[in-house]
Amino acid sequence: MKGRIDVSRLVIAWVLLVPMMFFIARGTFSFDRTAVNNTAVADQAQTANSSAGSNYYRAEQILIYLIVVVVMAGQAPAILRSAKIHWKVFLLPTWALLSTLWSQDAEKSLRLGVGTFILTLFALYFYERFSRTLQLELMLFYGAIAIAISYGLCLLFPEAGIDHVATVGAWRGMFEHKNQCAIITTYLLIPALEVQSKNALVAISKWTYIAAGLGLIALSQSRTGWLLVIVMICINRYLSVIRRFQRTSAALITLVVLSICAAIASAVIANYQTIAPLIGKDASLTGRVQIWSVLLHEVTKRPIIGFGYMAFFLGNKGESAQLVLVRGMETLTNAENPVLQLGLELGVVGVLIYLTLLILSLRNMTKSIKGSNDRYYIWMSTVVLLAVVELAGASKILYPNTYEWFIFVVAFIALEDAGKRDPGYDSPDRALL
pLDDT tens-digit profile of 338-360? 999 999 999 999 999 999 999 99
d(CA 66, CA 389): 33
Q: What is the domain count for the chain?
A: 2
Cα–Cα distance list, 95 to 91, 127, 228, 310 (Å): 6, 23, 29, 12
CA 148-151-153 angle, to 5 degrees, is 110
Shared domain check, 291 and 328: yes
Q: What is the mean pLDDT of residues 130-155?
A: 96
Q: What is the pLDDT of residue 189?
A: 98
Task: Please compute the mean of the pLDDT values over residues 229-251 and round it to a whole number.
Answer: 85
Looking at 171, 197, 221, the residue that finishes a domain is: 221
Mean pLDDT along residues 10-19 = 92
Q: What percent of the chain has pLDDT over 90?
A: 61
Mean of per-residue pLDDT scores for the chain: 86
Q: State the pLDDT at residue 51.
A: 46
139 domain residue, yes or no: yes
**Structural domain includes residue 332:** yes
* Domain membership of residue 405 as a residue range: 80-129+284-433
**Rounded average pLDDT over 102-131:** 96
C-alpha 82/C-alpha 417 separation (Å) is 11
Please tell me the predicted confidence (pLDDT) of residue 188.
Answer: 98
d(CA 87, CA 95): 13
pLDDT digits (tens, 9 = 90+) for 80-110: 999 999 999 999 999 999 999 999 999 999 9
Strand partners, 171: 162
How high is the pLDDT of residue 47? 42
Instruction: Examine the domain organization and report whether 327 and 414 are in the same domain.
Output: yes
**Single pTM value for the model:** 0.90
Residue 312 CA to residue 272 CA, distance in Å, equals: 31
226 domain-assigned: no
| The residue type at 54 | S
User: Tell me, what's the pLDDT at 48?
Assistant: 41
CB 225 within 8 A of CB 186: yes
372 close to 365: Cβ distance less than 8 angstroms: no
Q: Nearest-CA neighbor of 187 among 218, 127, 223, 229?
A: 229
pLDDT band of residue 217 (cuts 50, 70, 90) is very high
pLDDT for position 215: 98
Please indicate, yes or no, whether residues 111 and 157 belong to a single structural domain of this protein. Answer: no
* In contact, 407 and 382? CB cutoff 8 Å: no
Q: Is the pLDDT of residue 46 over 70?
A: no
Residue 176 has pLDDT above 80, yes or no: yes
Give the pLDDT score at 330: 66
Q: Give a yes or no: residue 11 inside a domain.
A: yes
Q: Would you list the DSSP string of 58-88? A: HHHHHHHHHHHHHHHHTTHHHHHHHHHHTGG
- Of the two residues 51 and 239, the one the predictor is more confident about is 239
Q: Given 3-state DSSP classes, what are the helix, strand and coil percentages for the chain, each rounded to the nearest 5?
A: 70, 0, 30
Q: Tell me if 45 is assigned to some domain.
A: yes
370 pLDDT band (50/70/90 cuts)?
A: low
